[in-house]
Chains A and B, each alone.
Chain A
Amino acid sequence: MIKIVKRDEPSRAIFFLTPVLAIFLTLVAGGLIFYILGFKPFEALKFFFIVPIADKYGFSELLLKATPLCLIAIGLSFCFKSNNWNIGAEGQLTFGAIVSGGVALLFYEQEGFYILPIVILAGAIGGMLYASIPAILKTYFNTNEILVSLMLVYVSKLILDYLVVGPWSNPEGFNFPETRQFSDSARLPLLFEGLRIHAGIFLALAAVVMSWFIFYKTYLGFQMKVSGFSLKTAKYAGYKGKKMIILVFLISGACAGLAGVGEITGPIGQLHREVSPDYGFTAIIVAFLGRLHPVGIIFASLVVAITYLGAETAQIFMQIPKYTGQVFQGMILFFLLASDYLLFFKFKFIGSKK
């Protein structure tokens, strides 16, 4: 007989193994879906997960997609660890892109080493401003940050839409909904000739190190951690709980804003309607798959980035819609939540009783 028993203590090994299990189950279920659709499961999975990263170009693309995911997820980990459910990173990304794009457009005819830092800073500030809306509404007016941050996503997308169609659209652009190209001084440098991977990856790595340092080494991180577990305890210890909430939103917004900057000053080079293929939403999956741990998030962002690439390859070679990528992302989250059950419960095999 198999019995399900509650664990005394969530096992640390299981804590980091369940994401692996979730990925494995996603592959199995994905194979099954391909089989039902009439493909050979192993071949299809190979097209999805191995072919896209088999060469240098593919690997660069992988890092290119993983960069914003990692950056945003690191920011989100600050919010999620302290029980603030910011799910509007997509909006913060978009607004960061708008602000930094606006600044980059100001300098469109100019050259200079100072331009890029200003553009990057503008993006971070834009993200922070946008994240401060749900934060302030939550702390001072008791609104629900999930709703506010989510709905602001659509607001930011509409603002972007208006700008690229209207006031900011390229005067020589034949009414395409896009702005001018940024000048080279406002672009993140490419790391290798012929590959799209750009210096934004260092921003992501810096964010990883910074978040690790803040969370594990500083008093500020300690206060965030305590406030996240219990606001009552935070109050009793004399921490400023409300400021802590606003702070984590700002950090999270800054990271999402930076991800937006990375996209428009990296591969895109201008503002148009689609600055992000929902990186801000997918990063939520990345954050949880990486267990809100900086190193875990690096791995998770690579895994989830593959689903973007795989979807494109699958579309080209197998004529499957690229939305399959989102199916895989959904399955990862689904199986992760399901296997989290194992964190708190375990199966016990017991011999049949007399």
Chain B
Amino acid sequence: MLSRRRTVTGLQQEYSDALRDYLVRPNEQALRRAYSTGRSTLSNGAGVLGIAALHHQAMKDVIPDLSAEIEEALLIKRAEEVFIESLMPFEMSHRAFREAIAVLRRMNERIEEEAKRIAHALHEEAGGLLASTNLALEELARDLSPKGTERLSLVRRLLDQMDEQLRHLAHEIRPTVLDDLGLVPALEFLADGLSKRSGLAVAVEGSTGGRLPSAVETTLYRNVQEALNNVTRHAMARRVKVAVTREPHAVRCSVRDDGVGFNVSEVIETRGERGLGHIGMRERLDAVKGTLLITSAPNQGTELLMYIPLEG
């Protein structure tokens, strides 16, 4: 009775039968069938609108035969009981996903905290040890022959490279400049690095008018980082402008490039919203009640506009 593949007409039949049965004589078996129809509708992807359509059609099929025998108020009450049963799997699924999202958000926050800790350890502790090592070598160099000093300087150059690598790595994991100086300096640092690596001209302008909540700064930083990566990978752009604007109760941040752009509605139609590849950005923004607006057209570049309301 729980075969996974049932056609819409099969499901309609099952639901209409269950409804008719229950309206005439309320019984648990009919409710069980309604629940089963809801479960099948959920797994075959027809969704909550699918079950609403089944219910509506069933009402049209069944009610005319019964309205002469059974009082209208009773029919309505019983029909609601059947409908609720068919919706329960959706309610369950909805709540389960809401919980899953909350869990993922907490995980994300923990990862960001962990990244802060690791970046700090790399930057301060490992970097500090390297600095001490360098001082010790400098002292050692004084006692060495010219030949020895030369060989030691090679070692020191390698240590310098290691220091550079550590700093780079620490910055990739979590830019300390974001924690220490705030969003705009961190974005300028990011833009600078990207310009040097890729030749893309990245301009950062605007101000946050003071520090923003840490979650908001992190969200905007990570999203701009992802947006700039997208630009270098897909847009074939020469210039990008990142603009930050503070409003009385919100912050706005846009990333606009002069690249090839794309047809937004076409991409959404053929690949769904997923096709835009902005799931991660939307998810981060959702967590701080922010919104994302994407504007683009072929040969007219792309603009991402992020808007985050601020409390108080």
Are A and B bound to each other? no
Residues of B within 8 A of A (CB): none
Residues of A within 8 A of B (CB): none
